[in-house]
Amino acid sequence: MLSADRARRLLTGLCILAMLLPATAVLAAEDPENDLEEVEQRIEDARERVEEVDGERTVTIADLERIDAQLGILDGKLAELQSELAVAEAELGDAERRVAATTAELTRTEGERNATQQALAGEREQFTRRTRATYMYGGTDPTIVALSTRSVADFTRAMEYVQRIVEVDRDRVNQVSGLVRQVEAATDELEALRAKQTAQQQAAEAQRDDVAGLVAEEEEVRAVVAAERQKRQLVLNQLDSDRATHLAMISSLEEESDKLTEEIRRIEEERRLGEERRQQEEEARRVAAAQEQEQEQGQEQEQEQEREQAAASRSSSGGGGGGGRGGGGSPPPEEAPASTGRMQRPADGPITSRYGYRVHPIFGTRRLHAGIDFGGGYGAPIYAAESGTVISAGSRGGYGNTIVVDHGGGTTTLYAHQSRFAVSGGAQVGRGQVIGYIGSTGYSTGPHLHFEVRINGAPTDPAPYL
């Protein structure tokens, strides 16, 4: 059997160990659990953004397909118009060539007409001179020719000669006159043909210009549609980039989530082992208490027997005196003062945000706000809400500079975003003692105190405790 002194020492050591181990496990679990919740929320946000991007991509792809169809129609129309333009330009070229050929033929014909007219003028001049000479000199009068001959044969030959000359002159004049009429008729026909072909050329030019105008308009419309498609393609490229970025973020966050989950499993295992140790320690404490009670009862029985023997001895010796125990026993133990059940406000400033779900001021997502925020300026004092042991004082991720105080019985309080500490880890602090100063470290939008109350590591509303 253990002595009372050794039992007390063992009990005290086990109590301290029981207090420290669960508190340490709870403390270690606080950050991973909060970080896991934050990572999972960020994964959910990223997945929602991927869904939004997929929706936008679907709309953009539909726009691109519609624009591509429109471009196909425009390209078909443009090809038809360009084909019509080519035909119109070919017809215009043919018309220009016909006009040029007709103009050349007209120029040649006009040259022939001029030459023929000049020849006709020469023949007429010669005929006129010969006629005038015959009239003046009588060289062609048959009577004169007949009288001037010496014989009938000479007369006959002379008459035949004169007749042939006259016939030749008349034939040449008639021939040249006919040529003149033919050339003039050909000239008139060519001028009419040239006028007709010129009108055709002008019509072909007008047709070409009309088709060219339609081609220009269609090309302008296509350029506008193509520019719109380029914009949509740029939007799709950006959406693809955003989607890839968010998918990569999700992959990275899932890896981080797996690591945090594994860390939480490890912490929960440590917590389970700590709980087993605590139960073993409680059993040891119960056994030690039973042993101590047994020893105290034995001592009381021995003292009672001694008092009874002393009383019997006084009675046998005739000694009077009042009976009773005469104050020889130990005074009853003094009971501890009853707790008020309420903690002190940890800061003097007003409450700016209460416990519960809200939209996170930095991440913009709806999540649990696991404590109460107190407003205050930089350097305003922070008080311990209740007496206890500082089991952590340091930087804790999004919490910034944070102190955790263990009050026993599975209750801890947390004081986050501090600018600096007034105590360090392991210190014993009293209710209302200054433990730090308000700041804006960690995920914070301004100076304030984030205060939490945790029961067995789980956050709860601090309001009922204040």
**Residue 172, in any domain of the structure:** yes
Is 440 found in the same domain as 358? yes
What is the C-alpha separation between 17 and 203, in angstroms, rounded?
110
CATH of the domain at 388: 2.70.70.10
State which of 272, 306, 340 marks the end of a domain. Answer: 306
What is the C-alpha separation between 215 and 212, in angstroms, rounded?
5
DSSP characters over 106-161: HHHHHHHHHHHHHHHHHHHHHHHHHHHHHHHH-TT-HHHHHHH-SSHHHHHHHHHH
Phi, psi of 314 (to 5 degrees): -70, -35
Is 171 found in the same domain as 41? yes
State the number of CA atoms in the 13 A half-sphere of 306 facing the CB: 8
**Residue 327, in any domain of the structure:** no
Domain region containing 239: 19-306
Q: Shortest CA distance to 451 belongs to which of 382, 393, 381? A: 382
Q: Shortest CA distance to 10 belongs to which of 283, 276, 272? A: 283
Residue by residue, pLDDT tens for the chain (466 residues) are 444 455 455 444 444 444 444 444 344 445 676 777 777 778 878 888 788 889 988 999 999 899 999 899 999 988 999 898 899 889 889 988 988 998 898 898 888 878 888 887 887 787 777 667 665 654 555 555 555 666 777 777 767 776 777 678 778 778 878 888 888 898 898 889 889 989 988 999 998 999 999 999 989 999 999 999 999 899 999 999 988 998 898 888 888 778 767 776 787 688 778 888 888 888 888 777 777 777 777 777 777 777 777 777 766 554 444 333 333 333 333 333 333 458 999 999 999 999 998 887 777 777 889 999 999 999 999 999 999 999 999 998 889 999 999 999 999 999 999 999 999 999 999 999 999 999 999 988 899 999 999 998 889 999 999 9
Residue reference for tokens 């100063």:
437
Is 377 found in the same domain as 298? no
Chain segment 269-323, per-residue pLDDT in tens: 887 788 888 888 888 887 777 777 777 777 777 777 777 777 777 665 544 443 3
- Output 247-254 pairs: Cβ under 8 A, ≥24 positions apart: 247/50, 249/42, 249/46, 250/43, 250/46, 250/47, 250/50, 253/39, 253/42, 253/43, 253/46, 254/43
State which of 306, 323, 343 marks the end of a domain. Answer: 306
**Residue 8, in any domain of the structure:** no
Is 400 found in the same domain as 291? no
Is 294 found in the same domain as 184? yes
**Residue 382, in any domain of the structure:** yes
Identity of residue 283: E
**Residue 322, in any domain of the structure:** no
Is 397 found in the same domain as 284? no
- Output 294-303 pairs: Cβ under 8 A, ≥24 positions apart: 295/4, 296/4, 300/329, 303/328, 303/329
pLDDT score at 465: 95
**Residue 329, in any domain of the structure:** no
Is 240 found in the same domain as 358? no
pTM here is 0.38
**Residue 446, in any domain of the structure:** yes
pLDDT score at 169: 74
Is 167 found in the same domain as 50? yes
Cβ neighbors of 315 (< 8 A, separation 6 or more) are none
Rg (CA), the chain: 64
What is the C-alpha separation between 119 and 110, in angstroms, rounded?
14
- b/e map 191-209, b = 16+ CB within 10 Å: eebbeebbebbeebbebbe
Q: Shortest CA distance to 33 belongs to which of 462, 460, 461, 458? A: 458
Q: Are 418 and 362 in contact (CB under 8 A)?
A: no
**Residue 236, in any domain of the structure:** yes
Is 386 found in the same domain as 271? no
Q: In total, how many domains does the chain have?
A: 2
Is 294 found in the same domain as 209? yes
pLDDT score at 28: 40
Task: Map residue 419 onto helix, strand or coil.
Answer: strand
CATH of the domain at 148: 1.10.287
State which of 271, 306, 341 marks the end of a domain. Answer: 306
Residues written for the chain: 466
- b/e map 54-83, b = 16+ CB within 10 Å: eebbeebeebbeebeebbeebeeebeebbe
Strand partners, 403: 393, 415
DSSP characters over 312-377: HHHHHTT-----S-TT-SPPPPPPPPPP-S-PPPS-SSPEEE-SEEEE-TTT--EEEE-SEEEE--
Q: Return the DSSP state at 414.
A: E
Identity of residue 245: T
Distances in Å between the alpha carbon of 381 and those of 387, 449, 450? Answer: 16, 10, 13
What is the C-alpha separation between 411 and 388, in angstroms, rounded?
10
Is 415 found in the same domain as 300? no
Is 237 found in the same domain as 127? yes
